[in-house]
């Protein structure tokens, strides 16, 4: 799938989201979380800076968190210092709306995005977070209030939710 990433042309949001979805499939299916994939992109050069998926790193780690922590580790810095090394305009592709609250007490992904100091200008999302674990996710509203564009990329919703909820008990509704 890395080959796919190399051939994605600038502005092909659906293909970047498909790449994020391919990452989500690497996350172990569990009934207690969604399987999500994330891609961090330098908009000016169309270079993928980092990728991540749910539970890629130890702990109860979300896709965006893994993406940021891997990039920070690559540069031997703390994730809180990413704004120092990131290019001027970065885009984040994530299969699901970034969380605004973590039941685990971990820092929500929206706060991680905002802590990068305005470098992430746009977040491209495949689906909004279902209300299974946290109702009323305010991720979209919080990002937009901070001046980050929130763009829904349509067409993959059914597949994203299928991947995201693998391992969940299916309701008979």
pLDDT (tens digit, 9 = 90+) per residue, 123-168?
A: 999 998 666 555 566 888 899 999 999 999 999 999 999 999 998 8
- The CA distance from 34 to 28, in Å, is 10
Four-residue CA torsion sign, 64, 67, 70, 72: negative
- Assess whether 157 carries a catalytic annotation: no
Other Cβ atoms within 10 Å of 89 Cβ, number: 14
pTM, to two decimals: 0.91
Express each pLDDT in 107-122 by its tens digit: 899 999 999 988 999 9
Assigned CATH for 2-164: 3.40.140.10
Catalytic residue among 56, 64, 69, 97: 64
Domain ranges of the chain: 2-164
Q: Which of 1, 118, 167, 77 has its CA nearest to residue 68? A: 77
């Amino acid at each position: 799938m890395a080959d796919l990433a190399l051939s994605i042309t600038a502005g092909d949001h659906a293909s970047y989201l498909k790449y994020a979805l391919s990452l989500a499939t690497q996350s172990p299916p569990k009934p207690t979380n969604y399987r999500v994939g994330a891609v961090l992109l330098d908009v000016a050069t169309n270079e993928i800076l980092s990728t991540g998926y749910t539970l890629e790193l130890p702990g109860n780690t979300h896709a965006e968190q893994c993406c940021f922590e891997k990039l920070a580790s690559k540069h031997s810095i703390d994730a809180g210092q990413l704004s120092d090394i990131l290019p001027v305009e970065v885009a984040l592709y994530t299969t699901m709306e970034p969380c605004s609250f973590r039941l685990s007490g971990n820092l929500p992904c929206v706060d991680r995005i905002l802590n990068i100091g305005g470098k992430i200008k746009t977040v491209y999302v495949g689906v909004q977070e279902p209300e299974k674990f946290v109702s009323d996710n305010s991720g979209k509203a919080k990002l937009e209030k901070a001046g980050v564009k929130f763009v829904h990329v349509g067409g993959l919703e059914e597949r994203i939710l299928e991947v995201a909820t693998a391992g969940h008990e299916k309701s008979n509704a």
